[in-house]
């Protein structure tokens, strides 16, 4: 436990930031997992509809400095690549 007053304050601040970041990070992981599940199951229509929402969630996490901008770009790129790998035929992708 911190002894110095400023250290106590920083501990409180970090706890608040952690709780705020946790909800965004959780939503981010859920959305990406959902998108990848649709892609793996070959549900092209659902995956295409969900993609803008996933992009928005990734951008929000990037804007709030929860993930780095390069990490956000990489996630978006890989999702788009996985979706285009379906070939628009609704085939399952490994």
pLDDT number for residue 92: 53
pLDDT in tens, the chain (94 residues): 899 999 999 999 999 999 999 999 999 999 999 999 999 999 999 999 999 999 999 999 999 999 999 999 999 999 999 999 986 555 555 4
Q: Cα 82 to the chain's mean position, in Å?
A: 15
Number of domains in the chain: 1
Residue 90 lies in a domain: no
CATH number of the domain residue 38 falls in? 1.20.58.110
C-alpha to C-alpha distance for 4 and 13, rounded to whole angstroms: 14
C-alpha to C-alpha distance for 92 and 44, rounded to whole angstroms: 9
Q: Is 87 helix (H, G, I), strand (E, B) or coil?
A: coil
For the whole model, what pTM was predicted? 0.82
pLDDT number for residue 86: 83
pLDDT number for residue 93: 53
- The residue range of the domain holding 51 is 5-85
What single DSSP character describes residue 73?
A: H
């Amino acid at each position: 436990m911190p002894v110095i007053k400023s250290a106590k304050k920083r501990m409180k601040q970090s706890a608040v930031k952690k709780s705020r970041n946790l909800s965004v990070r959780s939503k981010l992981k859920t959305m990406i997992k959902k998108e990848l599940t649709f892609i793996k199951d070959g549900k092209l229509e659902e995956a295409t509809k969900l993609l803008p929402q996933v992009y928005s969630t990734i951008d929000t996490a990037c804007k709030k400095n929860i993930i780095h901008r390069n990490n956000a770009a990489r996630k978006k790129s890989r999702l788009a690549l996985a979706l285009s790998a379906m070939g628009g035929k609704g085939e399952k992708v490994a």
